[in-house]
Amino acid sequence: MAVASAASGSTFCKQLLFSLLVLILFSDACKKISLQVPSHLQAETLVGKVNLEECLKSASHILSSDPDFRILEDGSIYTTNDLMLSSKRKSFFILLSDSQRQEQIKIELVLAARENKAGRKRHTKDTSLKRSKRRWAPIPCSIMENSLGPFPQRIQQIESDTAQNYTIFYSISGPGVDKEPVNFFYIERDTGYIFCTRSIDREQYQQFSLYGYATTPDGYVPEYPLPIVIVIEDDNDNAPYFESKLTTFTVLENCKSGTSVGQVTAIDNDEPDTLHTRLRYKILRQIPDHPQHFSVHPNTGVITTVTSLLDRESCDTYTLIMEVRDMGGQHFGLFNTGTITISLLDENDNLPVFTETSYFAEVEENRIDVEILRMKVYDNDLPNTPHSKAVYRILRGNENGAFKISTDPNTNEAVLCVVKPLNYEVHHQIILQVCALNEAQLSKKTNSQTPTTCTTTVTVKVKDRDEGPECRPPVKVIESKDGLKAGTELIGYKAVDPETGSSEGLRYTKIGDEDNWFEINEITGNLKTVKTLDRESKFVKNDQYNFSVIARDADGRSCTGTLVVLLEDDNDHAPQITEELTICHTDKDFAVLKPVDPDGPDNGSPFQFHLDNFASKFWTLESKDGKTAILREKEPLDYGYYSLPIVIKDRHGLSAEHLLSVRVCDCTTPSDCTMPAKKQRDIKTSNIILGKWAILAMVLGSTLLLCVLFTCFWVTAKRAEKQCFPEDRAQQNLIVSNTEGPGEEVMEANIRLPTQTSNVCDTSVSVGTLGGQGVKTQQSFEMVKGGYTLESNKGGGHQTLESNKGVGQGVTDSGRYAYTDWHSFTQPRLGEESIRGHTLVKN
């Protein structure tokens, strides 16, 4: 079979010109098919349809010999490009093959360009145009759902104009015919009547879109496929229903009239926006039904309150039976009912109320942490919520804080306890006023005449008993001076027997005297110092030294009091240095000195800082803020340890001299400064530290000294004088050198001088290991005793070895000098010449 379309001059045919094809001319099926088409075909235009199954049922491959056309599996033929049929005919082949059966069929397809027939000329007598009505056109078609028949039921007829000239067969296809759901409709082949075979539910199928066909017995198709839409008209066959059979809303009690409670919604499956789905809501019944508290909007289903008298304590739940009806609420409309539950939310509109108007309790004096009374309350608000949980307060009668009232979380009762001892001698009974509130604040909607609190009175009777001594006050402060000597008496602690009002018969002991400063008189309670009182002791906190005193009566009953010795600060401590300073040359050229004064602020800073004369030649010390000082080198010194004599005074002039240890290091932070352990020990244990300049000076000095001794020997041989060389010869021959050499330590040295009669002193100096090199140097030289003078490092005047040694020693051993005499004489002079690169440090 082949189907083609024929163009028509009508408006409908013009609208379908791009969809296709006019005419199928059947000629010898499965061999040659002729189609009439327009001379101009656009791309993707349906040319026709070939029933391929009649030619080869199981075709696995379908090909077109002309690339301008493509063939679909259902036999539809489409153009791939815009075509203009220049010649009257165009032919190509459709190739079908079955790979399993090894079959192949070739179908020739001939396209013939349609010729426009000239219209019939009007009669010369015609004065107006005539137009015949087209019957092959889309027509409206509808059926009522749930129709009762009889079936099959004729619903519509299609008819082609070409039936006047040809024998026409009619057919239809589409959903409801040959597609799911099938067999709902069929058409009489000869008449074109369309029939419905059964009733249809619109809620299942709203419409059916079919196509009608008109063909001649020989397969000629004079008409386009005719679209037929069959609409299923709605019948009010579905009653509306609520989305939920049981709906629950909540609303706060005592709410205002007009408060929205909630909105109910219903569903109607009939056609929307019709009378069949126009719903109306109504409350049929309220349970309990009196008074009426709720209303519903008939169109929206919004439920609101109509009164402000909703009280949860009277009724906490309301049930509404509601109806929803379609057809705009008409009596003949379909309807359904539902149940709406409205629960009232609680608010704190009720106060807790005591079960009794007054209460009575009794307790023995001096008892504490004891429960004496429980009080119950009732509250109409929702239990176990902040609206009903009670909070109790004592309004009057508890000015000294002897009572405590709390809430039992399990029973909601008030629990009254005594937390401080009561004294029968002071009060025989106490009257308390107690109130009860809720954890939640009372609602503002509560009646203004309702009291805001509920109160009751509690009478507490205090029972007398024989009691022990009383320590009053519990803490006693004694003032004392700092540095109070041992053996000094102080007024101690006094306890009182409340029955007699005196301290007779009481015995005192002390506890908690950590540093054992005092001894206590057992009878009077007075104190005597055992040690000198020291405010700066580690046992003193905030100028206070605390310990306890226990007073006992004859029956062993006791009380405990606390003695606080408040020490007045005395300026008995000078500022102290607690740390070693480090100067990191990589980071900065100074260090911050932070002294500590154990005395109080009145005897502490501002501090004054002083360096001795010798250290001030190489260091500067500048006070910063009265509490700290900045230590700087005047000129860069060698890396090592230095000890600086320093004096620090407090604000009242109390001072102490300290030897400040300073470490000069090549580091960024003090923690980065590392020195060999041996070097550190040598520096710290040696008496003299010599830098490279000092060592070089000593070597040069030794050389000069040999020259001097040689000169002395020569002069002595010439002259019978005891003086070896002039007074200023030492200073002239001492060479100042800025060349730095390795350090050295003097391990031991002896200086030996000959007797007076020899006129020449033979001196041997043993120089210790030079720092870091392990070179041991020993030199011997001679020196004329007496008359050798050098400029003193003390200032003015001259000094001799004889004067340094002392008179008494000269008598007993005139030929030998100790090393200390030699060192004290020569070292300051050598140091002044070579100290530019290093400082002599005495540890």
Do 828 and 793 form a contact (C-beta atoms < 8 A)? Answer: yes
Choice between 309 and 749, residue whose per-residue pLDDT is larger:
309
Tokens of 671: 């923690």
Q: Are strands 76-79 and 32-37 parallel, antiparallel or unpaired?
A: unpaired
Choice between 437 and 738, residue whose per-residue pLDDT is larger:
437
Residue 687, by phi and psi: left (phi above 0), alpha (psi -120 to 50) or beta?
A: alpha
Do 50 and 244 form a contact (C-beta atoms < 8 A)? Answer: no
Q: How confident is the model at residue 827 (pLDDT cuts 50, 70, 90)?
A: low
Residue 782 has pLDDT above 80, yes or no: no
Range from 39-43, 223-227, 568-572 carrying the lowest mean pLDDT = 568-572
Q: How confident is the model at residue 447 (pLDDT cuts 50, 70, 90)?
A: low
The CATH fold of domain 581-665: Immunoglobulin-like (2.60.40)
pLDDT at res. 338: 93
Q: Are strands 46-50 and 76-79 parallel, antiparallel or unpaired?
A: antiparallel
In the chain, what is the straight-line distance between the N-terminal and C-terminal CA atoms, in Å? Answer: 128
pLDDT at res. 228: 93
Do 634 and 622 form a contact (C-beta atoms < 8 A)? Answer: no
Number of Cβ within a 10 Å radius of residue 705: 21
Strands (DSSP E) contained in 452-601 are: 454-463, 475-481, 489-490, 507-511, 518-520, 527-529, 544-552, 558-568, 581-584, 590-593
Residue 818 has pLDDT above 50, yes or no: no
How much is the average pLDDT of 356-370?
91
Range from 27-41, 248-262, 263-277, 729-743 carrying the lowest mean pLDDT = 729-743
**CATH architecture, domain defined by 241-345:** Sandwich (2.60)
Q: What's the order of all strands across the beta sheet hosting 317-325?
A: 246-252, 335-345, 317-325, 280-287
Choice between 655 and 821, residue whose per-residue pLDDT is larger:
655
3-state SS, 86-150, equals: CCCEEEEEEEEEECCCCEEEEEEEEEEECCCCCCCCCCCCCCCCCCCCCCCCCCCEEEECCCCCC
Query: For 175-199, how does the pLDDT look when each residue is reduced to its tens digit (9 = 90+)?
Result: 999 999 999 999 999 999 999 999 9
How much is the average pLDDT of 770-796?
35
Query: For 451-493, how does the pLDDT look when each residue is reduced to its tens digit (9 = 90+)?
Result: 678 899 999 999 887 777 878 888 888 777 777 888 888 888 8
Do 698 and 690 form a contact (C-beta atoms < 8 A)? Answer: yes
Choice between 278 and 587, residue whose per-residue pLDDT is larger:
278
Query: Can you state the angle between helices 692-718 and 819-834, rounded to 10 degrees?
Result: 120
DSSP state of 276: G
Query: For 832-841, how does the pLDDT look when each residue is reduced to its tens digit (9 = 90+)?
Result: 444 343 433 3
Percentage of the residues of the chain whose pLDDT score is greater than 70: 74
| Helices vs. strands in the chain: H and E counts, helices first | 7, 56
Tokens of 206: 């709203």
The CATH fold of domain 475-568: Immunoglobulin-like (2.60.40)
Instruction: Specify the domain boundaries for CATH 2.60.40.60 within the chain.
Output: 32-113, 141-233, 241-345, 353-445+452-463, 475-568, 581-665
Dihedrals φ, ψ of 162, to 5°?
A: -75, -5
pTM recorded for the entire structure:
0.42
Summary mean pLDDT of the chain: 75
How much is the average pLDDT of 501-520?
84
Q: How far apart are CA 496 and CA 474, in angstroms?
A: 12
pLDDT at res. 588: 77
Our measurement of the distance from residue 546's CA atom to the centroid of its chain's CA atoms, rounded to an integer in Å, reads 45
Q: How wide is the angle at C-alpha 736 spanned by C-alphas 733 and 740, nearest 5°?
A: 135
Number of Cβ within a 10 Å radius of residue 356: 10
CATH of domain 141-233: 2.60.40.60
Residue 230: C-alpha distances to residues 134, 145, 160, 828 (Å) = 20, 11, 19, 131
Q: How wide is the angle at C-alpha 440 spanned by C-alphas 437 and 446, nearest 5°?
A: 80
Ranges 319-323, 505-509, 550-554, most confident: 319-323
Query: For 227-276, how does the pLDDT look when each residue is reduced to its tens digit (9 = 90+)?
Result: 999 999 999 999 999 988 889 999 999 999 999 999 999 999 999 999 99
Query: For 661-706, how does the pLDDT look when each residue is reduced to its tens digit (9 = 90+)?
Result: 788 887 878 777 876 533 433 333 333 455 566 678 788 888 888 8
- Max alpha carbon distance in the chain (Å)? 187
Tokens of 232: 């299923």
The CATH fold of domain 353-445+452-463: Immunoglobulin-like (2.60.40)
Q: How far apart are CA 71 and CA 395, in angstroms?
A: 102
Query: For 610-629, how does the pLDDT look when each residue is reduced to its tens digit (9 = 90+)?
Result: 787 777 778 887 777 777 88
Residue 316 has pLDDT above 80, yes or no: yes
Tokens of 154: 């004729």
Range from 28-37, 110-119, 370-379 carrying the lowest mean pLDDT = 110-119
Q: How far apart are CA 18 and CA 23, in angstroms?
A: 15
Residue 649: C-alpha distances to residues 373, 483, 618 (Å) = 68, 20, 22
What sign for the dihedral angle of Cα 162, 163, 168, 169? positive
How much is the average pLDDT of 573-578?
75
How much is the average pLDDT of 515-539?
84
pLDDT at res. 255: 92
Range 32-113 has CATH code 2.60.40.3880: no
Q: How far apart are CA 744 and CA 778, in angstroms?
A: 13
